[in-house]
Amino acid sequence: MKKISLLLMVLAASVVLTGCETLKGTVTGAADGLSKDVQNLSNPDRNGWNAAKKADAWMQQNLW
């Protein structure tokens, strides 16, 4: 029983230590994406709402 518990603890520790780099990359990527989104909100030319309105207008003109 002690060997199984030790094996499970070593396995859990290896998963946690290996996953730290993956978690760091995920959080860094999400933070970079969020900062770009916030910058785009302040720029009216690249604002998502304006892009959606332009796409809708194009679709109405060209596809209807």
- Residue-wise pLDDT tens digits, 14-57: 777 776 667 677 778 888 888 887 776 666 666 667 778 888 89
Q: Of 24, 39, 54, 15, whose CA–CA distance to 7 is shortest? A: 15
What pLDDT does residue 1 have? 79
Number of domains in the chain: 1
What pLDDT does residue 44 have? 62
What pLDDT does residue 43 have? 66
- With a cut of 80, say whether residue 59 has pLDDT above it: yes
What pLDDT does residue 16 have? 75
The CA distance from 51 to 2, in Å, is 61
**In whole angstroms, what separates CA 6 from the centre of its chain?**
35
pLDDT: which is higher, 41 or 2: 2
Q: What sign does the CA torsion over 40, 45, 46, 50 have?
A: positive
Cβ–Cβ under 8 Å, residues 25 and 19: no
Domain that holds residue 23: 2-63
